[in-house]
Amino acid sequence: MKRREFVTGVCATMAAGSFAPHAALASDRQPIERFRIDIHHHIAPPAYVEEMKSMLYGPTLGWSPGKSIDDMDKAGVATAITSITTPGVWLGDDRQGRRVARECNDYGAKMAAEYPGRFGMFAALPLPDIEGSLREIEYGLDVLKADGIALFSSYRDLWLGDPRFDPVMDVLNRRGALVFVHPDAPLCCRNLSRGLFNSAVIEYSTDTTRAIASLLFSGTISRFPRIRWIFSHGGGTVPFIVERLTRLPQTDKKLADAVPNGVLAELQRFHYDLAQASSPSALAALTRLIPPTQLLWGTDFPFRRGEEYVQQHVDFGFSEAELRTIGRDNALQLLPRWQVAGS
């Protein structure tokens, strides 16, 4: 599918009224400078909700583009880079996974066209379906011009460093792709803590750490060095167990060979968003480990509101320069095309 054909389809979709007009842009609020780039912003396309509604809950079911824009305007967000949240697009059926991934990616691109400058996108992949994922990388990056690719920390009980994912990593590496990693709860560890939805409160942060460790100690990071990684939620529990991670190669030569640059050097090369990781204790640990140049502004909308993070970052004591660096400048190093967005 050529880019021109896709854009024509977008226009036809708009004309048909697939996107409801956003009527809430005008308000009595004083104008706020829109400069932030929200790197962690979820959407729930209607086709996705229909396919996955038995596994979705709360804010996801009530999402709309208008709600996203309203939250962005309140928090001074110029552009949100959107992605699909859990459970992702693959539930065990490759054909369904490919169909849902394509529907979500087309929707994200159409929404970006409907609201110029306000939305970018990370394309969804139907992993662990390798062939389908390779096709969707090509379609997402070449046809839809997505900003990058969204992956999950694990797929059932396979983490990102599993060698079965090497064909995908190889293509992403050759493209120098930007990859956004969102957590999920693996099959092994769901419902360990009863009463907590899908163990998200505990397992999501833990599984992000599992994914990072898997990528490091499988040698994936060293073998595919051109992939640019963003990890959600401040890197999960990494800042709290970094001593264990850095000491591990000292006990095993094979593990040491997998990270020839050292664990700490790799951790400090990754990027991390601050969604759900902006409490004073989380920021204190993360900012002692990760340089400010690697931190990105994110909300986890619609599960959290952007205004919360604006206040949390001020309360933590970030300087005006640091707020600007984290809120926009670091993202522009990864996504220079958004330089023109904002007020």
- Look at residue 71 and tell me if it is in a domain: yes
- Look at residue 12 and tell me if it is in a domain: no
- Look at residue 4 and tell me if it is in a domain: no
By residue count, the chain amounts to 343
Query: For residue 162, what is the domain's CATH number?
Result: 3.20.20.140
d(CA 94, CA 121): 23
- Look at residue 47 and tell me if it is in a domain: yes
Tell me the one-letter amino acid at 231: F
Domain hosting 185: range is 31-340
3-state DSSP call for residue 40?
Answer: strand
d(CA 83, CA 94): 20
DSSP one-letter string for 185-220: --GGGTTSSTTSGGGHHHHHHHHHHHHHHHHHHTTH
User: What's the mean per-residue pLDDT of the chain?
Assistant: 89
- Look at residue 86 and tell me if it is in a domain: yes
β-pairing verdict for 158-159 and 154-155: antiparallel
Domains identified in the chain, total number: 1
Over 286-303, what HEC string results? HHHHCCHHHEECCCCECC
Per-residue pLDDT reduced to its tens digit, 216-229? 999 999 999 999 99
- Look at residue 13 and tell me if it is in a domain: no
In this structure, what token pair is assigned to residue 272?
Answer: 């991390």
In this structure, what token pair is assigned to residue 237?
Answer: 């529990």
- Look at residue 3 and tell me if it is in a domain: no
* φ, ψ of residue 57 in degrees (nearest 5): -150, 165
Contact 73, 32 (CB under 8 A): yes
Residue that has been written with the tokens 């996203």 in this structure: 68
What pTM did the predictor assign?
A: 0.89
d(CA 80, CA 36): 8
Q: Give the per-residue pLDDT at 175.
A: 98
3-state DSSP call for residue 44?
Answer: coil
Q: Give the per-residue pLDDT at 30.
A: 56
Closest CA to 152 of 181, 129, 125: 181
Per-residue pLDDT reduced to its tens digit, 7-57? 445 444 443 334 544 433 434 455 678 999 999 999 999 999 998 888 887
- Look at residue 22 and tell me if it is in a domain: no
